[in-house]
Chains A and B, each alone.
Chain A
Amino acid sequence: MIACPECEATVDLPDAPRLNEILECGDCHAELEILSLEPTLVGLAPEVEEDWGE
């Protein structure tokens, strides 16, 4: 478990977290990115850019 950097709510980590994995805070719905695995650090994920997509 980690704290959401936006609202400080507790965010559950997936069973096998990956570097750069995107999570969503269940409370404030902020998109979070796993920035480090040992120790586990998360930050706000980058905002969607104009050329993002499929």
Chain B
Amino acid sequence: MTSPGTLAVVASRIRTDEKRIFDALDRRAVSYVHVDSRTMWSSADIAPLPWDRALNREIGHVRAAYAAHSLEAVGTLVVNSARATEVCGDKWRTSMALRSAGLPAPRTALALTPTAALTAIEEIGYPAVLKPLVGSWGRLVTFVPDRQVAETVLEYIAALPSPHSHVVYVQEFVDKPGRDIRALVIGGEVLGAVYRRSEEWRTNVARGAVTERCEVTDDMAKLVYGAARATEADIAGVDLVEDEDGRLLILEVNDTVEFSGFQHAMGDRVDVAGRIVDHVLTGVHKWRG
């Protein structure tokens, strides 16, 4: 891996978000190199790489985490850090970080086998939600209304080949008002928030949810900031849900945040790609301390 740039943007998939980031770098006349993570390899005793810093936009969690570790090992400053990538990319580790920070979240359990998961679901109560530990876009997130469905779904989970799949993340179902909230935080500053509305119970933009601007309350800003601190994320998309009493709960923290829907809803109020670039170039030490 060689490059003339001092900033690497690590990404295997160039979507609208990555193009916006490249455009923001071009507007600032910043020298950078796009590194396709599918071509990356590292030797355990390799000399330092020519990049002072790296923005990690790799879409695959496993590749993103190993890329971050490999770069940090040779002295490159990586945003988000390897630790943040690992914590945010694993729902249980995120839950533990939020709990340690005393932040509100739905009742959650982790069962180490599908058999134990049935007990955990009964303890959490019906309806419950099962989520893969790793993954996004609401993929394979399963609504479990009763014991009959729980037993059936867990039978399928037990038949999956990967040991990772047999570790079951169980969460109480929050009967949200047809929407959830995605807030963006960069370097501890909350850029804004959007509602994500959907006819479906999963309100992911990737599943067709529509975004509209949401006023950031003081309470919301504290939670979003706290979630970024707890997970050590420089750049994060924090998902929140309102429970039946209007209380905000944190669902997850996304480390390789997709921001097209957010940008669309926010219009000219904020330039997300520009803020990401500015943070990577000048804001990291201030945030990390």
Contact = CB atoms under 8 A, between A and B. Distances in A.
B143 interface: no
Interface string A41-54: 00001100111111
A40 B237 CA distance: 34
A45 B137 contact: no
Interface residues of B, number: 27
A33 B134 CA distance: 25
Given A18-B18, A51-B61, A51-B62, 5 more contacts: A18-B22, A20-B14, A45-B13, A50-B134, A52-B61
Nearest to B89: A51
Contacts of B18: 18
Q: How large is the interface on A (under 10, 10 to 19, 20 to 34, 35 or more residues)?
A: 10 to 19
B60 A54 contact: no
Main secondary structure on B side of the interface with A = loop
A50 B18 CA distance: 21
Contacts of B134: 50-51, 53
9 contacts: A18-B18, A19-B36, A20-B34, A33-B13, A46-B12, A51-B135, A52-B60, A53-B59, A54-B258
Contact of A20 (B11, B136, B254): B11
